[in-house]
Structure 1
Amino acid sequence: MWIKICGLSTDDAVAAAVANGATHIGFVFAESKRQVTPEYAKYLSRNVPKTVKKVGLFVNESLTTIEKTIATVGLDMVQLHGQESAAFADQLSVPVIKAFGIKDGKLPVEILDFKQQVILLDAPPAKFAGGSGHQFDWDKVDLAMLSGYQFFVAGGLTTDNVLNAVRIFKPTGVDVSSGVETSGVKDLDKIKAFIEKSNV
């Protein structure tokens, strides 16, 4: 299963994610308390093996800026958290993860346009686009609509509930950011525990 640790901004956190078996690591380039510059993300990922996918998170950014960041950092995937269309996603030079905020358990009809991309189910954004750290209504989601998709589940995941998320959704992957933090900072022990729990 894919395990993505997102919002990384320190050497130690990147190293912990990679050493413990994360398959994807995420850097936030949109407005956020976890935002990093492309140059810093390039530095942070200098020792990341090719087997671990480097993902860049963007919100309604221009194609030019995204492509420049892909080139600077060496991104393997791009995660889109805004109102980007499937046509926009198709123009990007790397595979795309398209995030959807799930309200009242309803999957947006727009996911039908993204069969060719990986999708990410998240809680609706709070202050910043890109996830709120809260759980959406898992039990209300029509799982049949997800048939044929590769998808991540995100939103409020922690070591305590990730197994339940996997049991309910049988996702391609799980994605965590705030759930492996203590007081807003990535917690190396929590990263390790989350990855171990997800791999059970």
Structure 2
Amino acid sequence: MHKVVSGIVLSLFGFAASAEQVTIAALGDSLTQGYGLYQQEGFVPQLESWLKARGADVIIINAGVSGDTTAGGAARVAWTLTPEVDAMIVALGGNDVLRGVDPAVSRGNIETILQAAKAAGVEVLLIGLKVSGNYGPDYKAEFDAIYPELAAAHGTLYAESFFAGIEGETGDPAEMRAFLQDDGLHPNPEGVKRIVENLGPSVLDLIERAGGSQ
């Protein structure tokens, strides 16, 4: 049975005390796993601290695997959704793009993940990504459409981009440079902090949804 958390009220001051703790699995790749960072600097520890500072009684399980694709996520979602998991963050697809995976294949994998979550009674925050035009406009358009369309179809929460907190107003990659590690791909500790500040409100919404689920 998944826990039922009641009495979670989002206000200007954060969440009121909840009856039970909410456990969230963060299913992702190296961005979730915290590649290149000390453990406490990674996405999961920083997000958990951010949420707790706002009154959320929450545990986040780091289910990030460096180099993972949507296929890998679909293959391991069943054993990620253990009985104590109340909600799930899904942040996968970047490695699919790096490998030029057919967007239809990626869509099918993400749909498998969302169907597994629905069957388990687990609420989801689906995090999308912005694809460059390296593979042409058709590939970009098809891949970009995956996340909002599946979120709408499955009734999940949706965040447009993992990197939105460090992209700046123009989306110019040069603006992101200060918040990335030397590889130009993974966020540094300050980058993770900004990413968490941007995604945090959506995760608070996810906790509220998990608290209202039956």
Indicate the TM-score class for this superposition, using the shorter chain for normalisation: 0.3 to 0.5
The structure carrying a bigger helix percent of its residues is: 2
TM-score, with structure 2 as normaliser: 0.38
The structure carrying a bigger strand percent of its residues is: 1
Higher relative contact order (CA 8 A, sep 6+): 2
TM-score, with structure 1 as normaliser: 0.40
